[in-house]
Amino acid sequence: MRRYRRNLSAMFKAKAASDIILPISVLLCLATGNSMAAGFYITEIGTPGSLGTAGAANPTNTYHADSAWTNPAGMTGLDEDRIVAGLQVVAPKVEFDPSVAEAGGKDGGNAGKAVPIPSLFYVKRLSDRGRFGFSVIAPQGGGVNYGDDFVGRYSSTKAEIGVIGLSPSLAYQVSDRLSVGGGISALYTKYEINIAFNSAAILPGASDAKIKVENATDWGYQPFLGLTYQLTDQALLGAVYRAKADVDLNGDVNVRNWSLPTPVPGLNDVDISWDNPQWLDVGLRYTFGNNNTLFLNGGWQDWSEFSENGIEVSGGRANIDTEIDRQWDDTWYARIGFAHDIGEQSVYTLGVSYDSSPVKDRHRTFDLPVDEYYKVSAAYGWKGKNKLNYALGATLLIVGDAEIDQTSQGVRAAGEFDTNYILFAGGTVRYAF
């Protein structure tokens, strides 16, 4: 890092604008290569079966129109055309408690913000054995905003990602026991990150410059396949596989508050690429007693595939093309859910789950402070008039005290995130034609 600073000082003395492009491009590569706020799948899609069982009911869902996305094979369990409209609010708590802050600054307060997420699911009966489905959901998303004076500002001050998925699907009942289905998700991704540039490393006393990557967007496609198999009258097996999806974002780079005597670097474009990982989801549903249902669910996600990020920054005479390894690992999860029908009018669901961490403490970053996490959930649904059904549910995702020790631009910041959590709360309206 001392060598890096000496090089920067030499560039400054030369006062060549084209020479300043290189260190800033490298900075963007380093920062963006450790970025993708909320780089994990959201299994809580706002419906009672998903939200109320912590996702445990997803692969064995044969009850509702959201099966068009959770497991398309489950659509064959619907005898009527159905539509589900939902809205959930995602409210995160992301607070950092610093123990080392070489650059000074503040702890960032609660860096999370509440966002509403709508969803829509539709299933059409094509024949006795065939079904068509269509889903509109947000399968990924989130972000952090620590503020410009954050202790870790040379890593990131703000990072946001939003993903909207449009997913047509088909299902066919092969036999009385076996159904298969498949579809493809068209994923629109939008990404943004803000970083402070340590101008004082070149000119002592200079204020930080602000670098912003914005309008980084892309359309990607993720095929998925599913099956359900009726083991017995009481037991149903379900499985879903989602292939990896290539993401190749193209965005703009803006530099503000440039306090150095050299001209502002002529940065133009940034390309960021990664793979959304493949995903295997398997579940068992067992009905017993007096209208009771047990859901068991486990799965694997190939986050090591996502770990390799491609970064290209261009502007002026500079063109930086590199690949960053985020040092992420594959993850696994286990979930259990329970549902009880209260007569013919209502149902309540409960669920708990555990997900392993994709990243070790030494590789964790400020823009994505993920760790292993636990979920507890509950939901309540009831029948209304004129074939309408309603449901309310909530999931609490507890991330815990994730530690971080990150050095960026020669400046170290360390500490822990103090009992981070994300609250998912939502409701749905369902209609059977």
Domain of 13, CATH number, reads 2.40.160.60
3-class DSSP assignment, residue 396: strand
Cα dihedral value 340, 342, 343, 347, nearest 10? -70
- Residues in Cβ contact with 385 at an 8 Å cutoff, skipping those fewer than 6 apart: none
Q: How many domains are contained in the chain?
A: 1
Which of 60, 21, 37 is CA-nearest to residue 335? 60
In angstroms, the CA 222 to CA 425 distance is: 27
Which of 184, 228, 223, 65 is CA-nearest to residue 131? 65
Count of C-beta atoms within a 10 Å radius of residue 232: 9
In angstroms, the CA 224 to CA 431 distance is: 26
In angstroms, the CA 155 to CA 30 distance is: 8
DSSP characters for 63-83?
A: SSTTHHHH-GGGGGG-SS-EE
pLDDT along the chain (433 residues), means of 10: 43 42 54 42 73 92 94 96 92 90 90 88 97 92 87 89 93 98 95 89 88 90 97 97 91 85 73 87 94 95 81 68 79 95 84 91 80 92 88 89 87 87 91 89
User: What pLDDT is recorded for position 298?
Assistant: 96
User: What pLDDT is recorded for position 327?
Assistant: 82
User: What pLDDT is recorded for position 47?
Assistant: 78
In angstroms, the CA 1 to CA 82 distance is: 60
User: What pLDDT is recorded for position 62?
Assistant: 95
User: What pLDDT is recorded for position 307?
Assistant: 73
Q: Domain containing 144: what range?
A: 2-432
| Cα distances (Å, whole numbers) of residue 99 to 106, 362, 410 | 12, 15, 17
Supply the angle between the helices 2-14 and 17-33 in degrees, to the nearest 10: 150
User: What pLDDT is recorded for position 286?
Assistant: 98
Q: Which amino acid, one-letter code, is at 149?
A: D
DSSP characters for 303-370?
A: HHHHTEEEEEEEETTEEEEEEEE--B--EEEEEEEEEEEETTTEEEEEEEEEE--SB-GGG-BTTB--
| Cα distances (Å, whole numbers) of residue 422 to 89, 301, 366, 398, 428 | 10, 20, 16, 7, 20
User: What pLDDT is recorded for position 34?
Assistant: 41
